[in-house]
Amino acid sequence: MEFVLTRKTGKVFEIILNRFDKRNALNSLFVQELTVAFLEADKDPEVRVVILKAIGKVFSAGADLEYLQQLQSNSLEANMEDSTQLKNLFKFIYLQKKLVIAQVEGHAIAGGSGLVTVCDMAFSVPDAMFGYTEVKIGFVPAIVMYFLLRKVGEAKAREMLLTGRLFTAEHMKKIGIVNDIIEPDKIDDYVMSYAEKIASETSANSIAVTRAMIAEIQTFRPFDAMNYAAELNARVRMHDDCKRGIAAFLDKGEVSW
């Protein structure tokens, strides 16, 4: 692929943004290639954790503005097709079966912050800045809004989406977008070690079902949510992973995931 590199190390699959000469700005081809990379990781039964990272001093500057300018002369249908590509990428990252970690080693702006927001977890270097800056150029942070509201709530999301301000990694940690801040010379080893630990200590089926539940259970009314949870609780008891895990625990042994 032209803009995306992939690398598999054991049970960990790295997806690497590689358009550093354009600050990893997103255009149609870039979004298509990212989607292909995530599909590849999701379909690989050996892959347990995905790391999303970037080459260059910027994680991602968001949408490629030159590309957006070209689209302005197109029809609504053409713009809708392009917008739907990004929506489908974010939706797939959010709903696919593998746990996804963002490794942020540079600024994540607009759509770049969107990519970080939609991941399960994020680790950042201290100097990285984040921002949903679309309103400053007459655009709207439309697609990321759904995921940001879910993660941080309306009050915090309003401040971030309506001001277009940049925020430090420390602020993003306080509100729950960033899990921890790691020094630049240590973040590669730290994130890989974190991913490998999850891959070796958790059930693939349990991760997939739990991710799906997190996405779905918030859409139900309270009693419907409880019924949904009870049904999945009962179904997962019958899965081989659960049988193996409980047997190993009772035998005071370790299960190899």
31 membership: H or E segment, kind and range: helix 28-43
Give the position of tokens 């958790």.
Answer: 202
Cα distance between residue 48 and residue 66, in whole Å: 37
For 238, the 3-state DSSP assignment is coil
Non-local (6+) Cβ contacts of 228 within 8 A are 213, 216, 217, 220
Rg over alpha carbons for the chain, rounded to the nearest Å, is 19
Examine the residue annotation and report whether 66 is marked as an active-site residue of this protein.
no
60: its two tokens: 């991602």
Cα distance between residue 84 and residue 183, in whole Å: 36
Pairing between strand 180-181 and 129-131? unpaired
Q: Which amino acid is at 257?
A: W
Phi, psi of 129 (to 5 degrees): -115, 150
Q: Give me the sheet containing 129-131, strands edge to edge.
A: 58-60, 107-109, 129-131, 166-168
Candidates 2, 81, 134, 183; catalytic one: 134
How many residues are given for the chain?
257
Residues labelled as active-site residues: 134
